[in-house]
Structure 1
Amino acid sequence: MLHTRINPANAEPVLSVRDLSVWRGERHLLNDVTWVVSPGERWVVLGANGSGKTTLVRVATWWDRPSAGELTLLGHTLGRADVRSVRTEVGFVSVAFADKIRPGVTAHDVVVSARHGALETWWHHYTADDHARAAASLAEMAMAGFGERTFGSLSSGERQRVLLARALMADAPLIVLDEPSAGLDLGGREDLLGRLDALGADPTGPAQVLITHHPEEIPPSFTHVLLIRDGRVSAAGPIDEVLTSESLSDTFGLTLHLERRDGRFTAWAAT
């Protein structure tokens, strides 16, 4: 792996929210959420559509504003740090983030521009080492021959791998994956989940937060889960203890059976 080695035992949380609430007009999106992500942890935020998953993570990573609560991110406290500067230290992999990238930018430039927290190389200076690191990051994601391809010419799965390479390039201590399998076929999904699993299995790798509403999309190496329903956390903690048929049923509001085989989850409705 290309990232800087970390020692989870000696590091402060990478993300912390305390008594977080979000409301827009009369609508309450999140209510009194407290959540801490420590180095070395790989979290799944799991819930139904509209439950508040993406709102929680966007606010926790300073891409949206809270209505109440205390937030810290990578050692910085919201309101006491440069928001734009801190946000560049977080790696994002999502369809929404991919849509921000101009289609004509090459895959290599998407990756190397992470050095300055930009979406293109623009006027920034890049060293030979920067370009070599970008190439190595692409190679780690099996994209070695794609550096000169334009981002717009890549498949959905290839774009997600480029964004993962970008996160590795930036040495991001936290990678946020917002439904990264959306739009992928079965092969593309399994390829991406395999790469996320390998990244998560590395004890010195970055913390990860994966947003999904499908238990089968949870990589085996992920360690924790936060279950959310109607803007409230219904359960959170180590995945082996928290994610059960009962907790999943409560989260989705219907009776579900959950099974885990070879590290992967499968869920289905009771008949």
Structure 2
Amino acid sequence: MEVLHLSDITWVRGKRTILEHVNWRIRANEHWALLGLNGSGKTSLLQIISGYQWPTHGSVTVLGMRYGSVDVREVRKHIGWVSSAIASRFEADASFDKAYEVVISGRYGSIGLWQPPTDEDRQDALHALEQVSLLHLAEAPFNTLSQGERQRLLIARAFMAKPKLLVLDEPCTGLDIRARELLLSSLERTQNNGEGPTIIYVTHHVEEILPFISHALVMDEGRVAASGAKQAVLTDDVLRNAFHVDVRTTWENQRVWLTVR
């Protein structure tokens, strides 16, 4: 089954072309990294996938549902998101909620809980917290957690809805190296049983791309610079051209690292 199919996507806003002739196909059992500099089109592509923006040209099919012939709100129920925008909403509106309550809210798609959680909700939330190594902080208020702990908590929250597609939008932004590696280790554990959702991991730091991520798409100025199996895409030539910096890649423990020449 195809999880995502973007066919010849072009998006023009005013006189500016934001995305141009973008094609992207994600099949079952694939996990993708989406890379590119700021302004390369990554966020615009996510807006198209989520149905919050409509392309000027081309077609969007997510989980077998083609936009324009389905209620996009129904599609969104099957997509999990982790982003700085969601974290900001909890900081503003639910900062005193306990960690396990934040996780449970993912099942209902709410910021904060508006109904008493069930015993099943609590058990599932505790299991999700264990997966991201936060079980010991289940009763801790959101506003007492570190930034890294908050990001791991939001990953646990996203899993509560049992999404078929999970978008992680730069989840390591602002984290120090220890917090980053803790988050990445937690994410890898969620994929160990092979039963998790398809993941799109958005970043401009290639060292965050974990071994289980099989493919990569690189954006540059609104176009696809390269797309395919990550070993074929994450090369010196592709990244040099997309990042506009002379870089060299090295691989260690199935992860790629960049150095600037």
- Give TM-score, length-normalised by structure 2: 0.92
Where 2:157 maps in the other structure, the secondary structure is helix
Using the alignment, how far apart are the partners of 1:81 and 1:109 within structure 2? 32
- The structural deviation recorded for 1:201 is 4.6
Using the alignment, how far apart are the partners of 1:78 and 1:244 within structure 2? 34
Q: Per the alignment, do residues 74 and 152 of structure 1 end up closer, same or farther by CA in structure 2, a change over 3 Å counting?
A: farther
Q: Report the equivalent of 1:106.
A: 98
1:232 aligns with 2:192: no
Q: Tell me the C-alpha RMSD between the 2 structures.
A: 1.7
Paired positions, count: 258
Amino acid at match of 1:244: T
* 5+ residue gaps, structure 1: 1-11
1:52 aligns with 2:44: no
- The structural deviation recorded for 1:192 is 0.9
- The structural deviation recorded for 1:33 is 0.6
Q: Report the equivalent of 1:119.
A: 111
Determine if contact 2:131/2:186 at 8 Å carries over to the other structure. Answer: no
Instruction: Using the TM superposition, name which of 80-89 and 246-255 deviates more.
Output: 80-89
Amino acid at match of 2:113: T
Q: Per the alignment, do residues 169 and 217 of structure 1 end up closer, same or farther by CA in structure 2, a change over 3 Å counting?
A: same
Measured against aligned partners, the alpha-carbon deviations of 1:200-246 in whole angstroms (never above 9, x if no partner) come to: 45432211111111111111221000011000001100111221111
Q: 1:152 aligns with which of 125, 143, 148?
A: 143
- The structural deviation recorded for 1:256 is 1.5
- The structural deviation recorded for 1:186 is 0.8
Q: After the TM superposition, which parts of structure 1 deviate over 4 Å for at least 4 consecutive aligned residues?
A: none
* 5+ residue gaps, structure 2: none
Determine if contact 1:200/1:208 at 8 Å carries over to the other structure. Answer: no
- The structural deviation recorded for 1:17 is 1.1
Where 1:99 maps in the other structure, the secondary structure is helix
- The structural deviation recorded for 1:13 is 1.5
1:15 aligns with 2:4: yes
Between the aligned residues of both structures, percent identity stands at 38
- The structural deviation recorded for 1:39 is 2.2
Q: Report the equivalent of 2:120.
A: 129
Q: Report the equivalent of 2:69.
A: 80
Where 1:111 maps in the other structure, the secondary structure is helix
Using the alignment, how far apart are the partners of 1:198 and 1:147 within structure 2? 19
Measured against aligned partners, the alpha-carbon deviations of 1:49-84 in whole angstroms (never above 9, x if no partner) come to: 110112112211223332222111222221222223
Using the alignment, how far apart are the partners of 1:74 and 1:149 within structure 2? 36
